Amino acid sequence: VSEIRVVFLGAPGAGKGTQATLLRQQASVTHFSTGDVLRRHRIEKTPLGLQAEACMDRGELVPDALIIALVEAELATTSMFVLDGFPRTLSQAEALDTMLATRCMPLTGVLFFDAPRDLLLRRLTARWVNPRTGRIYNTITDPPRAAGIDDDDGLPLEQRVDDTLETATRRLDVYEQQTAPLIAYYTQRGLLTRINAAADIEDVAAQVRATIPALQRMETHR
Ligand code: AMP
């Protein structure tokens, strides 16, 4: 059986989560999103959730030690996975290499979801909600009839803290400074494949599907 162990690398808004969800339905891989796990911890008010809260709301990274412990616990139970949103720093990438090396399960590939910053900003700030009813709009895929106004009650829509222009800008800056160096790290290791993440969802999904044979071959040729 050829195994797939892949990292989805790319800025917030590049569509990694969407594509990981699609891939999980086609290949039998575990989709592991550190952002999703952290959000669940926050809802359940666990110690980790409470520690992570402030960093997340500012659009900054949660400390490496917390994240690495989380991933280590999660990866102990699976040999086929898509990592989405991890690693985000060089020390996380090195910790991942060590974790996988001790189990003789190296990565079989890294997909880099590449999209221009203006598009990422537009996607990240696209979500607006009616705070009275909870109805969610997306200014790209599901816009209200009049900009900023709810279709049902005609009152102003609002943005969640983490969807505002200010937080989105901060998240992209953090990505450029701390995560973008991983592009070179994985290129040097011969693992990186670039995906044009500016295309629409179906097009990107087709690009991702096209990489699967290569992701599997890397394992068999090792
Ligand atoms: P995401 O949904 O992947 O954009 O993650 C949401 C937030 O969770 C990020 O803005 C960070 O605050 C935190 N987070 C998720 N993954 C990591 C990671 N690998 N390292 C540090 N912080 C993370």
Q: What is the mean pLDDT of the chain?
A: 93
Token pair listed for 115: 């999209």
pLDDT (mean) for 62-66: 96
| Structure token pair of residue 164 | 């505002």
Query: Would the pLDDT of 95 be above 50?
Result: yes
* Substitution candidate for ligand 1 out of 16, 61, 84 with most atoms within 8 A of CB: 61
pLDDT higher than 60, residue 1: no
Query: By C-alpha distance, which of 110, 99, 79, 100 is closest to 2?
Result: 79
Question: Exposed/middle/buried for 198, CB within 10 Å: 0-12, 13-18, 19+?
Answer: middle
The yes-or-no verdict on residue 164 having pLDDT over 50 is yes
β-partners of residue 114 are 196
Omega of the bond prior to 87 within 30 degrees of 0, cis?
A: yes
Write the single-letter amino acid at 148: G
132-141 per-position pLDDT tens digit? 999 999 999 9
23 CB near ligand 1 (under 6 Å): no
58 is an active site residue: no
pLDDT at residue 59, rounded to an integer: 87
Active-site residue, selected from the candidate residues 24, 42, 58, 127? 127
Which stretches within the chain are classed as H helix?
Answer: 16-26, 34-43, 47-58, 64-75, 90-102, 117-124, 165-174, 181-188, 201-220
